[in-house]
Amino acid sequence: MFSVAFCIGVLLIMVITNWLYNWWNPKCNGVLPPGSMGWPLLGETFHFFARNTSSDIPPFVKNRMQRYGPIFKTSLVGRPVIVSTDADLNYFIFQQEGQLFQSWYPDTFTEIFGKQNVGSLHGFMYKYLKNMVLNLFGPESLKKMLPEVEQASSVNLKRWSNRTTIDVKDATAQMIFDLTAKKLISYDSEKSPENLRESFVAFIQGLISFPLDIPGTAYHKCLQGRKKAMKMLKNMLQERRENPRKIRSDFFDYVLEELQRKDTVLTEAIALDLMFVLLFASFETTSLALTLAVKFLQEHPLVLKELTEEHEAIIKRRENPDSGLTWSEYKSMKFTFQFINETVRLANIVPGIFRKTLRETKFKGYTIPAGWAIMGIDTNGASRNFMAFGGGMRFCVGTDFTKVQMAVFLHSLVTKYKWKAIKGGDILRTPGLQFPNGFHVHIFEKDK
Ligand code: HEM
């Protein structure tokens, strides 16, 4: 009896030792990048999610770069991952999309954004969806949208200037959400009995978080929010199906038309996932960037001065100073675009680009095994390496939309208003950017 138990014990120890050995020394037909796989199963997940307040390279990455160099291995949420801060490898990854690498995001992402979200689709279906999105947020649409964006900025700034304080993060998020939701699904937050935006709260925290679905975690909040928002979107689409419009006026109409076509590849589930991603991506990212922009202007008066001069000059050049912004005026905002790019770079809203290695890949003497995840991180943001909006085939489809929103809002802000910081404005990264206490300011009209 004793000897059987002893044998089982020895066998168990051997299996565990072997498993641990393989965990710390993953199989590879070459030289793996240096680095540590951390604790069994947990890997270095907790180090990765550790909160930090720096605007520099995340401490998790910086410490390992110093120890191992620009390319290192680790393990996050149960997966082996290569982290690349090497500009050449990151460029190579973008160029090889669909060949050696494929867009891949952690399970937290797919659970929250839906298994058929645009970031997880490949090949024909991906191209089809991308075209649909470009139709909505591409330059031609944006040209038409310019007066609407200006109107939204003016009306909201006027409203905010009548209050003692506003939280820039929350207020700009609401403004952009209202605009996008109107365009996509004709949703009007003031007329609707349910608050759609509420369901998107805590998203940035939950997206790249520890996937623990229990009450109290950011991940849990996100999943609950998704459920609620998807139910609302589904009901709205159904309602539209029952009461179709004569003239196509929003994205819902477009989707319904597509779904009715015999040869369509679109399904209702894919359309709803896309709607959900677009609603989220459009307001959360841009409002973070805008809040940081207002904070930077507050902290750098010379930048504010140059920005104001550029926008006042636009108005001075006009025959009628009250006429709205034109597309060529928008295109002429040289300094504004530099300021926006720099803000978005420092904001680092998408802290890493995730891919999966489709085939074993050799790079700079290292071998990356097939199936491993790669996280590309931008550490210097210079020209070719500027990755804030991604790169290659999957370059952010909302880039121009973000720039229009930001530039037009800044135009209205600096030409007509001044503001005073009241409280908040502190930055937290987990590793996504957050303003834990918001950024509260008092906005008031400039003396004419
Ligand atoms: C400051 C604002 C924004 C930043 C920093 C940002 C960043 C990014 C990045 C880095 C990617 C590439 C992800 C990858 O390669 O895996 C991306 C993709 C994407 N973005 Fe944005 N984005 C912003 C605004 C927006 C907006 C306003 C929209 C919607 C209108 C949007 C929709 C998307 C979509 C749908 C994709 C997936 C594209 C694809 O897989 O081909 N983004 N974004």
Mutate to test the pocket of ligand 1, among 337, 396, 401, 403 (most ligand atoms within 8 A of CB): 396
Degrees, nearest 5: CA angle 160-203-135: 80
141 closest CA partner among 409, 404, 341: 404
Residue 381's pLDDT is what? Answer: 52
pTM of the model: 0.91
Residue 106's pLDDT is what? Answer: 76
Degrees, nearest 5: CA angle 436-434-396: 160
Six-digit token pair at 445? 């009209």
Greater pLDDT, 183 or 405: 405
Cβ–ligand 1 distance for 176 under 6 Å, the answer: no
Instruction: Read off the pLDDT band of 437 (50, 70, 90).
Output: very high
Greater pLDDT, 202 or 133: 133
Residue 382's pLDDT is what? Answer: 41
67-to-24, 26, 33, 175, 431 alpha-carbon distances in Å: 17, 20, 12, 44, 20
Please determine, for residue 384, whether its predicted confidence score (pLDDT) is greater than 70. no
Cα–Cα distance measured from residue 51 to residue 122, given in angstroms and rounded to the nearest whole number: 33
389-to-99, 359, 381, 401 alpha-carbon distances in Å: 21, 26, 11, 12
Please determine, for residue 320, whether its predicted confidence score (pLDDT) is greater than 60. yes
Cβ–ligand 1 distance for 275 under 6 Å, the answer: no
CB atoms within 10 A of CB 184: 20
**Nearest-CA residue for atom 18 of ligand 1:** 396
Domain residue ranges of the chain, discontinuous segments joined by + = 29-114+351-387
299-to-51, 153, 283, 425 alpha-carbon distances in Å: 24, 22, 24, 11
Q: What residues contact 183, with CB distance under 8 A and at least 6 apart?
A: 136, 145, 250, 251
Cβ–ligand 1 distance for 295 under 6 Å, the answer: no
**Nearest-CA residue for atom 17 of ligand 1:** 396
Instruction: Read off the pLDDT band of 407 (50, 70, 90).
Output: very high
The one-character DSSP state at 35 is B
Greater pLDDT, 129 or 292: 292
Cβ–ligand 1 distance for 281 under 6 Å, the answer: yes
Cα–Cα distance measured from residue 200 to residue 402, given in angstroms and rounded to the nearest whole number: 19
Helix, strand, or coil here: 100? coil
Compute, in angstroms, the gap from residue 174 CA to the centroid of ligand 1.
19
Instruction: Read off the pLDDT band of 178 (50, 70, 90).
Output: very high
Please determine, for residue 182, whether its predicted confidence score (pLDDT) is greater than 80. yes
Compute, in angstroms, the gap from residue 118 CA to the centroid of ligand 1.
10
Please determine, for residue 209, whether its predicted confidence score (pLDDT) is greater than 80. no
Six-digit token pair at 117? 């979200």
The one-character DSSP state at 39 is B
**Which residues is 52 bridged to in the sheet?**
429
Q: What residues contact 272, with CB distance under 8 A and at least 6 apart?
A: 114, 230, 233, 234, 237
Compute, in angstroms, the gap from residue 398 CA to the centroid of ligand 1.
6
Compute, in angstroms, the gap from residue 106 CA to the centroid of ligand 1.
16
282 closest CA partner among 372, 373, 172: 172
Compute, in angstroms, the gap from residue 99 CA to the centroid of ligand 1.
21
Compute, in angstroms, the gap from residue 281 CA to the centroid of ligand 1.
7
Assign a CATH topology to domain 29-114+351-387.
3.30.43
Residue 302's pLDDT is what? Answer: 98
Helix, strand, or coil here: 81? strand
Cβ–ligand 1 distance for 119 under 6 Å, the answer: yes
Residue 2's pLDDT is what? Answer: 64
Average pLDDT, the chain: 88
Cα–Cα distance measured from residue 232 to residue 196, given in angstroms and rounded to the nearest whole number: 7
Cα–Cα distance measured from residue 230 to residue 48, given in angstroms and rounded to the nearest whole number: 30
Instruction: Read off the pLDDT band of 328 (50, 70, 90).
Output: very high
Cβ–ligand 1 distance for 279 under 6 Å, the answer: no
Instruction: Please report the beta strands in 117-228, taking only residues with DSSP state E, as ranges in sequence order.
Output: 166-167
Cα–Cα distance measured from residue 137 to residue 140, given in angstroms and rounded to the nearest whole number: 8
Compute, in angstroms, the gap from residue 105 CA to the centroid of ligand 1.
13
Please determine, for residue 426, whether its predicted confidence score (pLDDT) is greater than 90. yes
pLDDT digits (tens, 9 = 90+) for 265-319: 889 999 999 988 888 888 889 999 999 999 999 999 999 999 999 999 999 999 8
Instruction: Read off the pLDDT band of 254 (50, 70, 90).
Output: confident
Greater pLDDT, 336 or 230: 336
Greater pLDDT, 20 or 74: 74
